[in-house]
Chains A and B, each alone.
Chain A
Amino acid sequence: AQSVTQLDSHVSVSEGTPVLLRCNYSSSYSPSLFWYVQHPNKGLQLLLKYTSAATLVKGINGFEAEFKKSETSFHLTKPSAHMSDAAEYFCVVSDSGRTYKYIFGTGTRLKVLA
């Protein structure tokens, strides 16, 4: 069965410094992985997805993630944090079978300090 583990429940960075949100996955076959962002009182917005093409995936708003099979990781990074990046981020693995249902990590709350 697939699962994802987000290693940090809270991350604080200063504005203009790099962001690293960590995610490890477990899957018995080649997974499809996603990062979503949820701003306060908002829905979930897709940041980026990995579906077995390039291992370095670029997303919206300057975010990117690298799929590392040897480390079973899919960490999310951004070179320079902006105040508007403050939100909750979810790492997701898709049940790439018949249903494609999502299995969510527990989320990482990103705080950006001025």
Chain B
Amino acid sequence: DSGVTQTPKHLITATGQRVTLRCSPRSGDLSVYWYQQSLDQGLQFLIQYYNGEERAKGNILERFSAQQFPDLHSELNLSSLELGDSALYFCASSVKGVETQYFGPGTRLLVL
């Protein structure tokens, strides 16, 4: 157990809908990262937050957004969902200045 929690574990929804994925980092970790794992794209970095502020953006679609709250948990919002958004979404956290990231179990999203 990495200490990073993600909810829900599974999510099934329809095209055009909006969902919110939640992540709680390890105690004391200020950085949260979001990654998408799909069969065709592999594991891709989406976005990073550090202590509530956006730090870096990767291959994140405009339909996707994220935020990190004062208690350091983070949410990834996916809207106007398409079939191709079906994937495993991972959250990871790390301590400031330390590169090792610890991953949550992931949320498996299926868009029908």
Q: Whole-angstrom distance from the CB of A79 to the nearest CB of chain B?
A: 25
- Interface pair A43/B90, CB less than 8 Å apart: yes
- Which residues of B lie under 8 Å from residue A49 when comparing CB positions? 99-100
8 Å CB contact of B45 from A44, A96, A102, A106: A102
- Interface pair B43/A100, CB less than 8 Å apart: no
Q: Which of B14-22, B76-84, B102-110 contacts A (4 or more CB under 8 A)?
A: B102-110
- On chain A, which size bracket covers the interface? 20 to 34
Mostly helix, strand, loop or mixed at chain B's interface?
strand
Give B1-14 as 1s and 0s: 1 = Cβ < 8 Å from A's Cβ atoms: 01000000000000
- Interface pair A99/B42, CB less than 8 Å apart: no
- Interface pair B99/A100, CB less than 8 Å apart: yes
- Which residues of A lie under 8 Å from residue B90 when comparing CB positions? 43-44
- Which residues of B lie under 8 Å from residue A51 when comparing CB positions? 99
Q: Whole-angstrom distance from the CB of B4 to the nearest CB of chain A?
A: 8
- Which residues of B lie under 8 Å from residue A44 when comparing CB positions? 90, 92, 103
A101 with B100, Cβ < 8 A, contacts A42-B105, A43-B90, A44-B90 known:
no
| Residue positions of B touching A, CB distance < 8 A | 2, 31, 33, 35, 42-45, 48, 55-56, 58, 90, 92, 94, 99-106
24 contacts between A and B (CB under 8 A): A43-B2, A43-B90, A44-B103, A45-B103, A46-B102, A51-B99, A94-B99, A98-B55, A98-B56, A99-B48, A99-B56, A100-B31, A100-B94, A100-B101, A101-B45, A101-B56, A101-B58, A102-B35, A102-B43, A104-B35, A104-B42, A104-B44, A106-B42, A107-B43
Given A45-B103, A101-B45, A102-B35, output 16 extra A-B contacts at Cβ < 8 Å: A43-B90, A43-B104, A49-B99, A49-B100, A51-B99, A96-B99, A100-B31, A100-B94, A100-B101, A101-B33, A101-B58, A102-B33, A102-B45, A102-B101, A104-B35, A104-B43
